[in-house]
Structure 1
Amino acid sequence: MIEIKHLKTIRALAQTGSLAKSAQWLHTTASALSHQLKELESRVGNPIYLRKTSPIKFTIEGELLLKLADDVLPKILDTQARIQDIQHQDKGTLRLAIECHSCFQWLMPAISQFHNAWPMIELAFDSEYTFDAMPGLTQGDLDLVITADTFESKNFHFEPLFSFEMVLVTSPSHPLAQKKFITAEDLTDQTLLTYPVSPSRLDIFKYLLLPANCQPAKIKTVDQTLMILQMVTADLGVAALPSWAVNEYEQQGLVKTIALTQSGMQSKLYAAIKSREKNKAYIRSFFEISKTVSLNNLKQVTPLNE
């Protein structure tokens, strides 16, 4: 009566909170997903979620199916991974580096799940390549890079992970904290705190400042997100950071976030790998685990399918 595809759909609904996002995450259409849910409800004999609720609220039957999905799907994934492990006998080290230094919030749980699924693959972080890791991938010193930068190449594959909103972070007492959104001109008299990378690689420059031919009054580079936030709270500058990286601090009243532009600024995150490696079973598993864990652990992120 209940199929694996139904469990995947129920879990996607719980994770994303909407039919549209679930369809995007499952690489199908909202109408096809709606038809599948109606078919499942016909088999169950009752609705499994309440219509027109945001986020989606499940009925008792839906909650039971969700519990089943949470119990069964990880076991299926684990079994499939272990079968592939036995068949391919993949051994070795997955050397990775992170250009997004706010990513540890979701990457550590993802690595833990990956280790359970692929115990024969040793994960190793390379701290030599900080903020600019693609040369390490090019030279063969790295196997995978978490990055926001992509480019056309036959040699590299950029696996889309998720998209998220970049926001301006200020102290609660900062004059810009009262604005509904930030324009490029708002930053011309500000000290902008950034990671130590070229401004051309930073979204706030690429999509806001440079198109408006504007520059902040001063730029200070800081290599740690926590230090950036501490400097922001002390009114030593403002910063553009992922919204999910500062939610906890804003809830505590330590900082204030403001939208960058009236429509907001969306950024994207990818896993870069050499094209010839992208179809390896454990690499595909790393991609899928990273997507699922980030969606579960981070607020205000959406699936990125390209």
Structure 2
Amino acid sequence: MIEIKHLKTIRALANTGSLAKSAEWLHTTPSALSHQIKELEIKIGNPIYLRKTSPIKFTAEGQILKDLAEKVLPEIQDSENRIKDIKHQNKGKLRLAIECHSCFQWLMPAISQFHQTWPMVELSFNNDYMFDAMPGLAEGELDLVITSDVFETNEFHFEPLFSFDMVLVTSPNHELANKNYINAQDLTQQTLITYPVEPARLDIFKYLLLPANVQPKKIKKVDQTLMILQMVTADLGVAALPSWAIKEYEEQGLVKSIPLSKTGLQSELYAAVKYREKNRAYLQSFFNISKTVSLNNLNNVKPIKVNHN
């Protein structure tokens, strides 16, 4: 029976004290406003204010409506503002780069789910920063980077996604294929196939080879995971890859995987964004969707334990 427009009219009458000024306040004509008031009075069965009083004096029914307007309209305005804020965040651009080049196995389903949730966010990949993307994030060319390289900074926020096992991948007949685990010395006579990045950024160097002061016999750099696996199956070298990235190949008997070191080698994956942007609704949603999809669909992955101290 009582509509928002009626409450706005009551508030205008209370604030201005006259029908003419209320009409101006509400960007309408006095006759249109008078018609609306009569319509409301018919609905409630009594006048809402005393005619020919200046300023306007409300009847008992009008005072109830005035009190209701003062209570409800600010809440409606607040809700409208919050909806506008959310709607504003619904729109935007999410320019991604991936330093984890085996990520497409989980990232594509995550992006599909993200697009359904945030259809107004324009998502794109930037291949100009394939192997060193953090400068692109710093320069404003990117909005989010999938990376394993985490460092202390006040500029970036690194959202933990998941941890996973890095394994050595060989052909089934390779001399290392039946070892229980790989140590650094096992690789001194091997050709190691890697992505084209500095060795110090690769987990197998950071956590296995460099601490032992060991180098492989030869390094071949390849920029695609599929090509790396094809070279491994052809016995052209060995590679360190996430266990989930080679699961299908191992199930088909095309490759073997061996733990790196006696205790295994754990790597972690993060989503890096500008610190000031991290609380954007669609970025928080991207974080949550990525974690859920990866943990539900990948083999041998775990949440990253975050120290809040």
Q: TM-score, normalised by structure 1?
A: 0.72
Mapped partners of 2:150, 2:232: distance in 1: 29
**1:89 aligned onto 2:91:** no
The SS at the match of 2:112 is helix
Query: What's the secondary structure of 1:175's corresponding residue?
Result: coil
Q: Which residue of 1 aligns with 2:242?
A: 242
Query: 1:70 is matched with which residue?
Result: none
Do the aligned partners of residues 84 and 133 (structure 1) sit closer, same or farther apart at CA in structure 2, a change above 3 Å counting?
farther
1:284 corresponds to: 284
Note the 1:110-129 alignment, pairs <5 A.
110-129=110-129
Give the corresponding residue for 2:76.
none
Deviation at 1:197, TM superposition (A): 0.1
The alignment partner of 2:286 has SS state of helix
Alignment check: 8 A CA contact 1:85 1:118 kept: no
What's the CA shift string for 1:35-91, capped at 9, x where partnerless? xxxxxxxxxxxxxxxxxxxxxxxxxxxxxxxxxxxxxxxxxxxxxxxx978634221
Q: Whole-Å Cα distance in 2 between the matches of residues 126 and 218 of structure 1? A: 31
- CA distance in 2: counterparts of 1:94 and 1:225, whole angstroms: 24
Report the equivalent of 1:263.
263
Alpha-carbon RMSD across the aligned residues, in angstroms, is 1.2
Paired residue secondary structure (2:159): strand
Partners of 2:107 and 2:93 in 1: CA distance: 17
**Within-5 A mapping of 1:92-107:** 92-107=92-107
Matches within 5 A, 1:15-94: 87-90=86-89, 91-94=91-94
Q: Distance in 1 between matches of 2:143 and 2:180?
A: 42
Contact 1:166 1:264 in 2 (8 A): yes
Residue 161 of structure 1 is matched in structure 2 by 161
Letter in 2 for 1:149: D
Between the aligned partners of 1:232 and 1:84, the Cα distance in structure 2 is 53
- Secondary structure at 1:128 match in 2: helix
Task: Give the distance between the partners of 1:228 and 1:206, measured in 2 at CA.
Answer: 20
CA–CA distance in structure 2, aligned partners of residues 229 and 87 of structure 1: 44
Determine helix, strand or coil for the equivalent of 1:196. coil
User: In 2, distance between residues paired with 1:226 and 1:95?
Assistant: 24
Q: Deviations over 1:6-32 (max 9, x none)?
A: xxxxxxxxxxxxxxxxxxxxxxxxxxx
TM (normalized to structure 2)? 0.71
* Aligned mates of 2:152, 2:206 — CA distance in 1: 18
State the partner residue of 1:131. 131
Instruction: Judge conservation of contact 1:84–1:281 (CA < 8 Å) in 2.
Output: no
Amino acid at match of 1:231: M
Q: Matched residues in 2 for 1:85 and 1:134: separation?
A: 32
Rounded Cα–Cα distance in structure 1 between residues aligned with 2:164 and 2:84 = 33
Percent identical among aligned pairs is 72
Amino acid at match of 1:133: A
Query: Could you list the per-position Cα deviations for residues 195-235 of structure 1 after superposition, in whole angstroms to 9, with x for gaps in the alignment?
Result: 00000000000000000000000000000000000000111
Q: Which amino acid in structure 2 is aligned with residue 246 of structure 1?
A: I
Q: CA, structure 1 residues 114+86, in 2 after alignment: closer, same or farther (shift >3 Å)?
A: farther
Measure, in 2, the Cα distance between the counterparts of 1:209 and 1:279. Answer: 38
Q: Measure, in 1, the Cα distance between the counterparts of 2:127 and 2:248.
A: 27
| Worse-superposed segment, 167-176 or 84-93 | 84-93
Aligned partner letter, 2:244 = W
Q: For 1:284 and 1:175, how far apart are their aligned partners in 2?
A: 46
Q: 1:248 Cα shift?
A: 0.5
Within 1, Cα distance between the matches of 2:259 and 2:171?
Answer: 14
The 2-side partners of 1:291 and 1:162 are apart by 7
Matched residue type, 2:207:
Y
- Aligned residues between the structures: 224
1:186 aligns with 2:186: yes
Corresponding residue for residue 305 of structure 1 = 305
1:305 CA drift (Å): 3.2
Q: Structure 1 runs of 4+ off > 6 angstroms?
A: 83-86
Q: Which amino acid aligns with 2:239?
A: A
Letter in 2 for 1:89: H
Describe how 1:214-229 pairs up with structure 2 within 5 A: 214-229=214-229
Q: Which ranges of structure 1 fall in alignment gaps of 5 or more residues?
A: 1-82
Structure 2: tracts of 5 or more residues without a match: 1-81
Work out the CA distance in 2 between the residues paired with 1:192 and 1:242: 15
The separation in 2 between residues aligned to 1:93 and 1:231, in whole angstroms, is: 37
